[in-house]
């Protein structure tokens, strides 16, 4: 167990769930400190990506019926490479076995057959028992947890592997709430589930984890973001080209420069990279150990045309904390094809335009006998195809997909025609730019980057230098001793500070030095001591975690002082 995992468990940040029953890999419980830290991290995310951007937040179910994932492509393509050991039966991510034991860094982008060959050529062994893996097949393994909705055989469903689909399937309503105006964003913070082949590094690769995702719907021909709002942000960029050339040099560019130099291809992506960097810095990720790495072409998810991962370095490994992906119109187009609703937005022209429109008027006396109950669906599919791709009607036959099956119709029976019409606007499928964060990975990295050991008064101390805004507890309140009324005064003070909306812990056990150490170790930025002087003049000692400096503050002002320190409106040195 790493030092961090040990601290996390001992001090109640996170630990393996259900240990009383032996525990299952990939599931973690956040303890009191961790749950508070995670909640604060989520609140800052909500503040940045929902409130300050003027976006909407939703809360969709985590159990999702199968057709959604047929449409989204997850049922077919949300796979990792699995290799099983013939000797001990353990399962492993085949690409990780390759990456951990060879110079190859992007095995994830290779086809399974090639990974099989590499395992054999390098004589790679099972990480659990050391038996050779050569000759074992490498298979695609779908990461979704399957379930059955309702009694009996039920309806097949899956625990969502991303919150994103909630925003896509509800798009027909969300666009109404946005008054059909692009761009707009819909966000969600909630659980995602992936049946990871080999969960590892605690919160880093879990089977249930919290995601914070923003789906930003834009008109691909519309205006971009106001980049002047992020003009001062310098992005540490590691483009695909530099990775392929085996370079480790990062470009340091503003969003505008990155766009002008063609390093980042999309204005919204550049904008959200800048917003993301500022957020990571705010919650305590060390900017010296942070970068944006572009996906290599073979690494892209099935829905993405480009993606930049925010990565943080921990113990020599780069952890993916967020992906900022261009999902183009992939998702909304797929749901348009599969669902009974409209996933477009009507875009009004400045002036009405005369345009050519392709339509169909299918011969139902042919479709009816030929396709029976599916005839209506075939007609709808023909109409959608005419609007999308009129060249599909150039030949003698037209092929469309209905309920996952391809059907062919003679073109003469489709009533296809192109006519001139005057339009006041047109329906467009918005494109999506998606900043998708793993909250657990952010929490883990923040803990790793802020865990420090230093020396105070000749003694070694462990200290978590968390930003005050996300610290689980803002202030520890101690009486010098629990006698002569000091304890009662301190307890009253703690109650008053809680009433004032601060997160407070009260501690009267052990000597003051030990109490300070306990709070330092869980990241409490400030501690207050009530002493005999407090009884006389109403002042208390306020101590800063990072410098261990102390000042005397009037107890009546303490709530305001602590709030302003926590919110970054004031520095401790100014007191
Ligand atoms: N909707 C886009 C999407 O799901 P992703 O890169 O697969 O993209 C988003 O996931 C983020 O979720 C990742 O950047 C990572 O921080 C986090 N994540 C993914 N798998 C995870 C796992 N098994 N355990 C913890 N966090 C994970």
* Tens-place pLDDT, residues 200-222: 889 999 999 999 999 999 999 99
Ligand 1 binding pocket includes 26 (Cβ within 6 Å): no
Categorize the per-residue pLDDT at 105 as very low, low, confident or very high, splitting at 50, 70 and 90.
confident
Cβ atoms of residues 238 and 292 within 8 Å = yes
Q: What tokens does 173 get? A: 């309503």
Q: What tokens does 476 get? A: 């520890």
Residue nearest to atom 20 of ligand 1 (CA): 205
- Give the mean model confidence (pLDDT) for residues 8-34: 96
Q: Does residue 154 have a pLDDT over 90? A: no
Looking from the CA of residue 194, the nearest atom of ligand 1 is 23
Count how many residues are written for the chain: 575
What local confidence, expressed as pLDDT, does residue 484 receive? 93
What local confidence, expressed as pLDDT, does residue 1 receive? 61
Separation of alpha carbons 323 and 8, rounded Å? 26
Q: Does residue 103 have a pLDDT over 70? A: yes
Separation of alpha carbons 490 and 484, rounded Å? 11
Ligand 1 mean position, distance from CA 45 (Å):
16
52-100 pLDDT tens trace: 999 999 999 999 999 999 999 999 989 999 999 999 999 999 999 999 9
How far the first Cα of the chain sits from its last, in Å, is 41
- Give the mean model confidence (pLDDT) for residues 422-435: 94
Q: Does residue 225 have a pLDDT over 70? A: yes
Looking from the CA of residue 325, the nearest atom of ligand 1 is 2
Element holding 167 (H helix, E strand): helix 164-169
Separation of alpha carbons 116 and 202, rounded Å? 28
* Look-up of token digits 């007609």: 379
Ligand 1 binding pocket includes 95 (Cβ within 6 Å): no
Neighbouring-strand partners of residue 504: 475
Is residue 536 exposed (0-12), middle (13-18) or buried (19+ Cβ within 10 Å)? Answer: exposed
Mean pLDDT of the chain: 95
DSSP 271-299: HHHHHHHHHHHHHT--GGGEEEEEPPGGG
Cβ atoms of residues 341 and 172 within 8 Å = yes
497-516 pLDDT tens trace: 999 999 999 999 999 999 99
- Give the mean model confidence (pLDDT) for residues 168-181: 97
Ligand 1 binding pocket includes 440 (Cβ within 6 Å): yes
Looking from the CA of residue 196, the nearest atom of ligand 1 is 23
Is residue 455 exposed (0-12), middle (13-18) or buried (19+ Cβ within 10 Å)? Answer: exposed
Ligand 1 mean position, distance from CA 397 (Å):
43
Separation of alpha carbons 35 and 341, rounded Å? 39
The pTM assigned to this predicted structure is 0.89
Ligand 1 mean position, distance from CA 454 (Å):
34
Angle at 177 between CA 171 and CA 181, to 5 degrees: 85
Ligand 1 mean position, distance from CA 38 (Å):
16
* Distance, CA of 134 to chain centre: 36
Residue nearest to atom 19 of ligand 1 (CA): 438
Ligand 1 mean position, distance from CA 186 (Å):
18
Ligand 1 mean position, distance from CA 164 (Å):
11
Separation of alpha carbons 191 and 35, rounded Å? 14
- Give the mean model confidence (pLDDT) for residues 301-314: 94
Looking from the CA of residue 309, the nearest atom of ligand 1 is 14
- Give the mean model confidence (pLDDT) for residues 8-24: 95
Q: Does residue 476 have a pLDDT over 80? A: yes
Neighbouring-strand partners of residue 359: 417
Is residue 315 exposed (0-12), middle (13-18) or buried (19+ Cβ within 10 Å)? Answer: exposed
Residues 6+ apart with CB under 8 A from 342: 172, 336, 427
What local confidence, expressed as pLDDT, does residue 3 receive? 84
Is residue 547 exposed (0-12), middle (13-18) or buried (19+ Cβ within 10 Å)? Answer: exposed
Q: Is the peptide bond before 183 cis (omega within 30 degrees of 0)?
A: yes
Ligand 1 mean position, distance from CA 310 (Å):
11
């Amino acid at each position: 167990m790493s030092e961090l995992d040990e601290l996390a468990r001992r001090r109640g940040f996170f630990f393996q769930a259900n240990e009383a029953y032996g525990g299952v890999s990939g599931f973690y419980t956040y303890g009191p400190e961790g749950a508070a830290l995670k909640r604060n991290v989520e609140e800052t995310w909500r503040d940045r990506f929902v409130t300050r951007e003027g976006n909407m937040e939703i809360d969709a179910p985590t159990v999702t019926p199968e057709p959604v994932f047929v449409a989204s492509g997850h049922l077919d393509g949300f796979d990792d490479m699995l290799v099983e050991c013939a000797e001990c039966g353990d399962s492993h991510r085949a690409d990780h076995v390759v990456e951990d034991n060879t110079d190859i860094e992007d095995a994830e982008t290779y086809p399974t057959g090639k990974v099989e060959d590499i395992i054999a050529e390098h004589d790679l062994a099972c990480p659990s028992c050391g038996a050779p893996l050569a000759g074992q097949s490498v298979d695609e393994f779908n990461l979704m947890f399957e379930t059955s909705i309702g009694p009996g055989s039920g309806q097949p469903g899956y625990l969502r592997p991303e919150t994103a689909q909630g925003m896509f399937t509800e798009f027909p309503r969300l666009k109404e709430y946005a008054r059909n105006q692009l761009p707009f964003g819909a966000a969600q913070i909630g659980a995602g589930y992936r049946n990871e082949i080999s969960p590892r590094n605690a919160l880093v690769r879990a089977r249930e984890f919290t995601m914070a995702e923003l789906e930003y719907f834009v008109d691909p021909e519309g205006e971009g973001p106001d980049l002047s709002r992020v003009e001062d942000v310098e992005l540490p960029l590691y483009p695909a080209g530099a990775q392929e050339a085996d370079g480790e040099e990062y470009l340091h560019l503003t969003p505008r420069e990155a766009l002008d130099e063609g390093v980042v291809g999309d204005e919204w992506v550049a904008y959200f990279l800048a917003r993301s960097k500022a957020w990571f810095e705010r919650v305590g990720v060390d900017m010296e150990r942070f970068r944006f790495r572009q996906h290599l072409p073979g690494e892209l998810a099935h829905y993405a045309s480009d993606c930049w991962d925010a990565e943080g370095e921990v113990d020599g490994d780069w952890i993916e904390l967020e992906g900022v992906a261009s999902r183009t119109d992939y998702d909304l187009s797929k749901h348009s094809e599969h669902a009974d609703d409209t996933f477009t937005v009507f875009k009004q022209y400045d002036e009405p335009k005369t345009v050519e429109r392709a339509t169909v008027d299918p011969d139902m006396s042919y479709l009816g006998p030929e396709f029976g109950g599916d005839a209506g669906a075939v007609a709808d599919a023909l109409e959608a195809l005419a609007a999308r791709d009129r060249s599909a009607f150039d030949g003698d036959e037209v092929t469309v997909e209905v309920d996952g099956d391809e059907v062919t119709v003679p073109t003469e029976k489709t009533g296809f025609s192109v006519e001139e019409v005057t339009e006041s606007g047109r329906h467009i499928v918005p494109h999506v730019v998606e900043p998708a964060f793993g909250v657990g990975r952010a929490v883990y990295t923040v803990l790793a980057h802020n865990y420090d050991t230093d020396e105070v008064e000749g003694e070694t101390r462990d200290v978590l230098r968390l930003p005050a805004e996300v610290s689980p507890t803002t202030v520890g309140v101690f009486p010098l001793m629990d006698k002569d009324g000091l304890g009662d005064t301190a307890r009253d003070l703690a109650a008053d500070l809680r009433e004032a909306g601060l997160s407070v812990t009260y501690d009267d056990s052990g000597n003051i030095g030990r109490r300070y150490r306990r709070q330092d170790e869980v990241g409490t930025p400030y501690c207050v001591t009530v002493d005999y002087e407090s009884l006389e003049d109403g002042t208390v000692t306020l101590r800063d975690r990072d410098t261990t400096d102390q000042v005397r503050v009037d107890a009546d002002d303490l709530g305001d002082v602590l709030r302003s320190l926590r919110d970054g409106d004031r520095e401790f040195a100014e007191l």
